Structure 1
Amino acid sequence: MNSLPAVTYSDPRRAADDPTAIAITSDDFRFVHFSKPERFFRGERPFRLIPAKPALTTHSDVIYTPAVRGGAKQRVGCLYDRELNQIPHSLTLRRRSDDLFNTDPPRFAGDVDDLPVYDRPVLYMNHIRPHFGHYIMETLSNWWALTENLGDIDRYCFHVYDPSLLQRPYIKACLDAMGITADNLVTFDRPTRLSRVIVPQTSFQLQSHTHDAYREFMNKLAVALGVADARPTDQPLYLSRTAHKSGVRQYIGEEKVESFLAERGARIVHPQQLPFAEQLRVVNEHTNILGFQGSQLANIVGALEPKTVTYFTEETPWGGSILINKCFGNQATFVKVCEADHVARTLYSSAMRRITGKKSDFDGFAKAHKVDYKRAIAWLTAEGIV
């Protein structure tokens, strides 16, 4: 085997100080009906695009702890080194403040000698996130390592709290495209010692930074899923949320914007109704893509060429959208079209959920926003998009 460098590991937060990092600012996008959009970019660190590849580190005698969902013992799952300390690149950080998502203890406290041992070397592939948007931006963020020379590695190690997630169509499509099957996919339901593990640094930290390697891998995944022969047209594409019956976010009045676009020749697509490969093909068949801010627009990571993208939003443009569009070279416009009174109600509900632990419910959705559809239609008319 052409072994990788045997290093201890680098702090995943080194990305904040990477000399190649390019700061992302409000000047990189267009904002409509927002007051002082530069405020979204203030903070201790900027949003960042990093040309340099993330790190790949090799570890021997690693302890894998499984993901456990629910109750006081809920754990995301992570890896521990031979000194029983967490391996940083196996942890999930979010935001520019590097908030730790893992609830796992900093040190492994079990009896190491009693653990079963898995002798084959593995590539650590991250957590299988159940939410579509988090899967696209976080789970797939480690898969860039599949394009590297990994020597004799032919086993791929995941954290997954429910094995049935592996059968979700979009997850299975990605696994199949990359040649990962039941025979070479490795996961454990109890603490296990691993003889050797290659651990990639994430190429996409949610609401913080992304590497060019994320786009490069997503391009290869899209090609593997058969989108390379798609020929884009100038017909606007609207990625709709109106068929969603439940979920995180509802836009009340979206159907009026959708009808306006449909009557004027836009193509209307409900991504969740299509196979994942077809979802990526669709975004490659159009140069101009529109939709309300949400995970259905995460599909633009399947585009092989830059796009013009319009987001209809509530009060705040998402950091994930900012990172994706900068990474993929898109011309992105954020248009605020939600009425303030409904935004305030949603923010209040979110705050109460944190205090009481009870999930709010807007007819099956955790959050709801009332759309000022007249404002949205007026902007579409003025822009001449349809």
Structure 2
Amino acid sequence: MTLLQRCTLLWGSADLYDDDPHVRVVDNCVYLPYSHGNVWGLFSSDGKPVLEAIDFREGVHVPGDQRLPDEGRIDLAVTERSDTSYIYIGRINFHYGHFLVNTLPRFWNITKIKSPNTKILFHGPMSVEQIFSTPYVKTIFSMLGLRPEDFVKFAIPTKIKHVVVPKTSFEEQRAGFYTYKSLCSDIGRRILHNKDLSTRIDTLYYSKTRLKSAVGIIKNEAELEEYMREKGQ
């Protein structure tokens, strides 16, 4: 009986890049606070969305909880924030898979470009306290030397003098950068540094059989698990 079959279909594309993602510096931009299904995000001084700040899917689709202005610009009264520089890392998504696919890829160069006085600017419905109360998020951020006081978001439209926007290093259903692989490997090494591992683990298999719901599943995954147990894997 054949448990696995070769996949011959691909949703989107799977390009790999050796070079680093683009980093854009945006001056005098406008931050619109997160509002699910409405217009929110980072906009340049002419009112147009900062495209590097958007987590496109397949390179063209805007996230389902974000809408862009129809006229391509915004005209709002805003509060001025010119006292510091910011690094923008997009919406923090707390779904574990989307955290790895959409959120973490923007941190690929955070340890190189962040200074003690630089704040990390983000979007999302969660407070900073809620972010760091999520165990896996807290662990990953701590491995990057990040603390709650490093993060900030605004509740009202805000004009910001200087924002650094690292483009994502993993584009959903489109492309990945080797620098993201390096980031994840480095985080893994730091987590395991003080762990006493008596058994070498060469391969990990993440199963969805215990999930109550999932976007995609493997039809005979329970059978596959049993086969691996029988083989001592």
The answer for unaligned runs of 5 or more in structure 1 is 1-31, 267-386
Of 180, 184, 187 in structure 2, the residue corresponding to residue 218 of structure 1 is 184
Q: Is the 8 A contact 1:60 1:82 kept in 2?
A: yes
C-alpha change, 1:209 and 1:232, in structure 2 (3 Å) is farther
Distance 2:113 2:198 in 1: 32
1:121 maps to what in 2?
Answer: 85
Q: After TM superposition, give the deviation of residue 148 of structure 1 in Å.
A: 2.4
Q: After TM superposition, give the deviation of residue 123 of structure 1 in Å.
A: 0.9
2:35 maps to what in 1?
Answer: 68
CA offsets 1:3-41 (integer angstroms, 9 cap, x no match): xxxxxxxxxxxxxxxxxxxxxxxxxxxxx6358x2x538
Of 109, 113, 117 in structure 1, the residue corresponding to residue 75 of structure 2 is 109
Alignment of 1:16-31 (within 5 A): none
The answer for unaligned runs of 5 or more in structure 2 is none
Greater helix content: 1
Of 125, 144, 161 in structure 1, the residue corresponding to residue 108 of structure 2 is 144
Q: After TM superposition, give the deviation of residue 225 of structure 1 in Å.
A: 2.1
2:172 maps to what in 1?
Answer: 206
CA offsets 1:301-324 (integer angstroms, 9 cap, x no match): xxxxxxxxxxxxxxxxxxxxxxxx
Q: After TM superposition, give the deviation of residue 89 of structure 1 in Å.
A: 0.8
CA offsets 1:259-317 (integer angstroms, 9 cap, x no match): 33223322xxxxxxxxxxxxxxxxxxxxxxxxxxxxxxxxxxxxxxxxxxxxxxxxxxx
1:20 maps to what in 2?
Answer: none
1:179 maps to what in 2?
Answer: 145
1:99 maps to what in 2?
Answer: 61
Of 132, 157, 176 in structure 2, the residue corresponding to residue 191 of structure 1 is 157
Q: After TM superposition, give the deviation of residue 121 of structure 1 in Å.
A: 0.6
Matched, 1:78 2:41: yes
Q: After TM superposition, give the deviation of residue 233 of structure 1 in Å.
A: 3.8
Computing the radius of gyration from Cα coordinates, the structure with the larger value is 1
Count of residues in Structure 1 that have an aligned counterpart in Structure 2: 223
Distance 1:207 1:253 in 2: 24
CA offsets 1:231-250 (integer angstroms, 9 cap, x no match): 87477644332332344345
C-alpha change, 1:84 and 1:236, in structure 2 (3 Å) is closer
Q: Is the 8 A contact 1:63 1:194 kept in 2?
A: yes
Q: Is the 8 A contact 1:235 1:265 kept in 2?
A: no
Distance 2:191 2:57 in 1: 29
Q: Is the 8 A contact 2:111 2:144 kept in 1?
A: no
TM-score of the aligned structures, taking structure 1 as reference length: 0.51
Q: After TM superposition, give the deviation of residue 210 of structure 1 in Å.
A: 1.3
Distance 1:173 1:258 in 2: 28
TM-score of the aligned structures, taking structure 2 as reference length: 0.81
Distance 2:74 2:199 in 1: 52
SS of the aligned residue for 2:46 comes to coil
Of 124, 128, 132 in structure 1, the residue corresponding to residue 96 of structure 2 is 132
SS of the aligned residue for 2:105 comes to helix
2:10 maps to what in 1?
Answer: 40
Matched, 1:55 2:22: yes
Alignment of 1:219-368 (within 5 A): 219-227=185-193, 233=200, 237-251=204-218, 253-266=220-233
Which amino acid is 2:141 matched to? L
Question: Which deviates further from its counterpart, 115-124 or 134-143?
Answer: 115-124
Q: Is the 8 A contact 2:121 2:151 kept in 1?
A: yes
Q: After TM superposition, give the deviation of residue 126 of structure 1 in Å.
A: 2.0
